[in-house]
Amino acid sequence: MAEDTSSSPLRAVDGVRTPGIAAALTRFCRSLHDRGLPVSPAESVDAARALQAVDLGDRAEVYFALRAVLTTAPGDIPIFDELFDQLWATGPRHPVTPIPGPRAPTPRARPPSTTAQTVAAATLARWARVADAGTEEPGTWRLPSALETSGPQVFTTFDDAALPDVRRVARRIARRLATRPSRRWRAASRGVRLDLRRTVRHALRTAGDLSVLLYRKRRIRRTKLVVLCDVSGSMDLYARLLLQFLFALQHSFARVETFVFATRLSRITNHLSGREYRQAVEAVSRDVGDWNGGTRIGTSLGRFATEWRRLTDRRTVVIILSDGWDTDEPAAMTEALTTIRRRAGKVIWLNPLLGSPEYQPLTRGMQAALPHLDVFAPAHNLESLDALAQHLLL
């Protein structure tokens, strides 16, 4: 670790002239930063100012002061405690209470990802082959044009003739999402409420006569979707139709981000944006070479939670499509979902197996996930996807 304190911002702060303290504080801030805490030079200047204000001989006081300045979330505190103990190697240890809601592990703390990247895009290649309408699989069941009369049909028996119906469902969902009124207002020439501010301004021109009434109406709430689809071997039966669904959704609704995962997480939003379903699937199968070696749901979701956190906010609905067969430790699932749910407006898990009456969500992964979900619903046929619309409202 660099000992260079001449460039330390702390030199600028009066009082922390003692090179030893400034250097130690700089090192401390750097080590916090390295462990993923949001500590920049601005925070270290604040820390130095805080140290000026407290009793440097009092370990507890220095601890509480630095903790107030340098942490920003409960998950920071265990890391802070550990490094503070190193900074202040002597004296009694401050009792640490465990704090819920752990921050997701920093990239450094993550074990190296598995390199088992077998070429197994065969599955996707197969989907691509059958993507050209229903010609290749003659005799397969064809959907009637109206969804309402189609009756429940398990995805596994669908061919790609179903794509138009999948599209219709996707479009219906998109329409639902696009027309939600928000709690905020915008100016309008016609609307439900008078905009007094603008009306009065206008009235000034006519000597106070309210000749023109101006209104305001509610903004449209902009819901966003993030879809994370499991494409591991166990999902093979359903993944094809789910991918059609993802494709259709991407085309019906502008604010969708799509990811697939088996052992690794891949963003396929751009792949799906092509005009042709077949090309889209080919692009995905070309770039996503990860269809083997089991399912690491916890790791994949954790990766999403840390690396793509900017995609989720209060107005985002996160949809996970998976059967819940996870080879990761349940703790990874719990941690990832806790993080995602705290940022997102809603977390929905769609499990194709839930369509079967005998199915019980007993796998360890599913058990770990259940407490952190807002909605747990089936996704085995078009009807269940259609029912998704009602859950998407925030």
Partner 1 sequence: MRAEVRRIYDLMEREGYVTDRGIATAVYLAVTLRKPLLVEGHPGVGKTDIAKVLARVLDTELIRLQCYEGLDASTALYEWNYPKQLLHIKLTEGAGHSVAHQEATIFSDDFLLKRPLLQAISCRGRAPVLLIDEIDRSDEEFEAFLLEVLSDFQVSIPELGTVRATETPAVVLTSNRARELSEALRRRCLYVWIDYPSAEKELRIVRTKVPDLDAHLAAQVTGIMQGLRSLSLTKVPGIAETLDWGAALVALHAQHLDQELVRETLGCVLKDEADLRTVEARLDAGELVGVAAGGE
Contacts of 359 (CB under 8 A, 6+ apart): 351, 353
The answer to whether 30 contacts partner 1 (rule: CB under 8 A) is no
Options 46-54, 112-120, 168-176, 349-357: segment touching partner 1 (CB under 8 A): 46-54
Binder of partner 1 out of 73, 116, 212, 254 (CB under 8 A): 73
Three-class SS of residue 266?
A: strand
Binder of partner 1 out of 8, 44, 71, 223 (CB under 8 A): 71
The answer to whether 12 contacts partner 1 (rule: CB under 8 A) is no
Which is nearer to partner 1, 81 or 236 (by Cβ)?
Answer: 81
Distance of alpha carbon 288 from the chain centroid = 20
335/331 Cα distance (integer angstroms): 6
Contacts of 118 (CB under 8 A, 6+ apart): 289, 291, 292, 293
Instruction: Specify burial of residue 221 (Cβ count, 10 A radius: 0-12, 13-18, 19+).
Output: middle
381/151 Cα distance (integer angstroms): 9
The answer to whether 204 contacts partner 1 (rule: CB under 8 A) is yes
- The minimum distance between CB 190 and partner 1, in angstroms, equals 20
The answer to whether 236 contacts partner 1 (rule: CB under 8 A) is no
The kind and range of the H/E element at 3 are none
Instruction: Specify burial of residue 224 (Cβ count, 10 A radius: 0-12, 13-18, 19+).
Output: buried
The answer to whether 210 contacts partner 1 (rule: CB under 8 A) is yes
The answer to whether 14 contacts partner 1 (rule: CB under 8 A) is no
Q: How many residues of this chain interact with partner 1, rule: CB under 8 A?
A: 45
The answer to whether 93 contacts partner 1 (rule: CB under 8 A) is no
**295 and 234 Cβ atoms separated by less than 8 Å:** yes
- The minimum distance between CB 367 and partner 1, in angstroms, equals 13
The answer to whether 137 contacts partner 1 (rule: CB under 8 A) is no
Which is nearer to partner 1, 50 or 388 (by Cβ)?
Answer: 50
Please state the φ and ψ torsions of residue 111, each to the nearest 5 degrees: -65, 155
- The minimum distance between CB 38 and partner 1, in angstroms, equals 6
Binder of partner 1 out of 9, 21, 24, 64 (CB under 8 A): 64
The answer to whether 208 contacts partner 1 (rule: CB under 8 A) is yes
Axis-axis angle for helices 59-70, 41-53 (nearest 10): 150
Distance of alpha carbon 244 from the chain centroid = 21
Residue list 325-364, contact with partner 1 (CB under 8 A): 342-343
Binder of partner 1 out of 18, 86, 313, 331 (CB under 8 A): 313
Distance of alpha carbon 276 from the chain centroid = 27
* Beta carbons within 10 angstroms of residue 317's beta carbon: 24
Binder of partner 1 out of 207, 357, 358, 362 (CB under 8 A): 207
The answer to whether 53 contacts partner 1 (rule: CB under 8 A) is yes
Residues that bind partner 1 (CB under 8 A): 38, 40, 42-43, 46, 49-50, 53-55, 58, 60-61, 64-65, 67-69, 71-74, 77, 97, 99, 101, 182-185, 196-197, 199-200, 203-205, 207-208, 210, 313-315, 342-343
